[in-house]
Amino acid sequence: MVKIRLARRGRKKLAMFDVVVTDARSPRDGKFIEKIGTYNPQTVPASIVLQDDRAFHWLMVGAQPTDTIRAILSYRGVMYKKHLQIGVNKGALTQEQADNKLADWVKAKQEKIQTKIDSVAKTKADQVKLRKEAESKVREAKAEAIRKKSEVAAAAPAAEETAPAEPQA
Q: What is the torsional sign of CA 42, 47, 51, 52? A: positive
Q: Are strands 34-40 and 47-50 parallel, antiparallel or unpaired?
A: antiparallel
**pLDDT per position as a tens digit, 86-123:** 999 999 999 999 999 999 999 999 999 999 999 999 99
pLDDT for position 167: 61
Q: What is the mean pLDDT of residues 36-55?
A: 93
88 CB-near residues (< 8 Å, 6+ apart): 94, 95, 98
Q: How far apart are CA 48 and CA 74, in angstroms?
A: 12
Where do the structural domains in the chain lie, given as residue ranges? 2-91, 94-152
Q: How far apart are CA 48 and CA 60, in angstroms?
A: 21
**pLDDT per position as a tens digit, 112-121:** 999 999 999 9
pLDDT band per the 50, 70, 90 thresholds, residue 53 = very high
Whether omega before 65 lies within 30 degrees of 0, making that bond cis, reads: no
Contact between 106 and 77 (Cβ < 8 Å): yes
What percent of the chain has pLDDT above 90? 78
Q: What is the mean pLDDT of residues 35-54?
A: 93
Could you list the beta-strand ranges (E) of the chain: 2-9, 16-23, 34-40, 47-50, 64-65
Q: What is the mean pLDDT of residues 13-37?
A: 93
Lowest mean pLDDT of 9-23, 41-55, 142-156, name the range.
142-156
CATH class of segment(s) 2-91? alpha beta
- The pTM (predicted TM-score) of the whole model is 0.73
